[in-house]
Chain A
């Protein structure tokens, strides 16, 4: 079956760095997405990886290894506003999105 795994919850300190991992097993692969979702709001797009390697975008970076079925989202210089859920989603061979359950990130002062 198809499966996306990511930690349920993580805690980090303001100003620090945190890495949120995502492993996946899907029928085919057409890219991996990371989304941020604040409580009560719609998810917002963070990154898209389809090739192996690291994509950097400001304080956020996303890494992909297709051979390992693995991605991570790296958040640097954490701010209190980064407290949110982070969703990993993989697009399979049918261009259907397979979603992880999300990682709730708690930032402490």
Chain B
């Protein structure tokens, strides 16, 4: 599975959009991009995932570049409750393995 690179930390003002980047330059054609977040030591929470098209759900938007080598998670109106560690993961769709590799993520601090 491709490796991802994320900044270790970011700040965002409450009410503003939080844009979290992820680099996955070695991604292959059948690999999906997933985003999770972890608040304190709770279980990671799924946010969104995509293959090559941009995706949006009630939590966030995922923008994947045309060459698929990077992506951005957008939280459109960050709140204090969005303070968490955000993980970008790349994983191929395979019926022979369920390996997921988490990196160290981006610690997002939302301030008032």
Partners in one complex: no
A→B interface (CB under 8 Å): none
B→A interface (CB under 8 Å): none
